[in-house]
Chains A and B, each alone.
Chain A
Amino acid sequence: MEAGEAKSKKAGGSRLCCICNQRRPVLKRPKTLQQICRECFYEVFEEEIHQVIVGNRLFKSGERVAIGASGGKDSTVLAYVLSELNRRHNYGLDLFLLSIDEGITGYRDDSLETVKRNEVQYGLPLQIVSYKDLYGWTMDEIVKMIGLKNNCTFCGVFRRQALDRGAALLKVDKLVTGHNADDIAETVLLNILRGDIARLSRCTSITTGEDGPIPRCKPFKYTYEKEIVMYAYFKKLDYFSTECIYSPNAYRGFAREFIKDLERLRPRAILDIIKSGEDFRIATTTKMPEQGTCERCGYISSQKWCKACVLLEGLNRGLPKMGIGRPRGSGNDQKDTKARSTAKSIESKQCGSLEF
Chain B
Amino acid sequence: MQLTLEFGGGLELLCDSEKIHKVNVDLPNGADSDDFTMTHLLSWVRTNLIKERPEMFMKGDTVRPGVLVLVNDCDWELSGQLDTVIEDKDVVVFISTLHGG
A-side residues, CB < 8 A to B, are: 3, 6-7, 10-12, 24-28, 35, 70, 72-75, 178-180, 182-183, 225-226, 228-230, 233-234, 241-244, 256-257, 260-261, 263-264
Contacts and interface: CB of A to CB of B under 8 A. Distances in A.
The 10 closest A-B CB pairs, nearest first, are A74-B101, A260-B65, A12-B78, A260-B66, A28-B77, A72-B101, A11-B74, A27-B75, A241-B9, A241-B10
A233 B70 contact: yes
Contacts of A25: 74, 78
Nearest to A256: B98
Q: Pick the most buried of A6, A229, A244: most chain B CB atoms within 10 A of its CB.
A: A229
A26 B75 contact: yes
B71 interface: yes
Given A241-B96, A263-B65, A26 B74 contact: yes
A70 B70 CA distance: 26
Contact of B78 (A27, A182, A234): A27
A233 B101 contact: no
Interface SS of chain B: helix, strand, loop or mixed? loop
A112 to B, nearest CB: 14
Contacts, number: 91
B101 A26 contact: no
Contacts of A228: 97, 101
B61 interface: no
Contacts of A6: 85, 87
B93 interface: yes
Nearest to A72: B101
B79 A229 contact: no
Nearest to A28: B77
A73 B78 contact: no
Contact of A10 (B71, B73, B100): B71
Contacts of A10: 71-72, 79, 84-85, 87
A226 B87 contact: no
A218 B64 CA distance: 27
Contacts of A243: 10, 99-100
5 contacts: A11-B71, A26-B74, A27-B75, A28-B78, A233-B95
B87 A261 contact: no
B13 interface: yes
Contacts of B79: 10-12
B85 to A, nearest CB: 6
B75 A229 contact: no
B68 A229 contact: yes
Contacts of B65: 257, 260-261, 263-264
A53 B59 CA distance: 37
Contact of A70 (B84, B88, B98, B101): B101
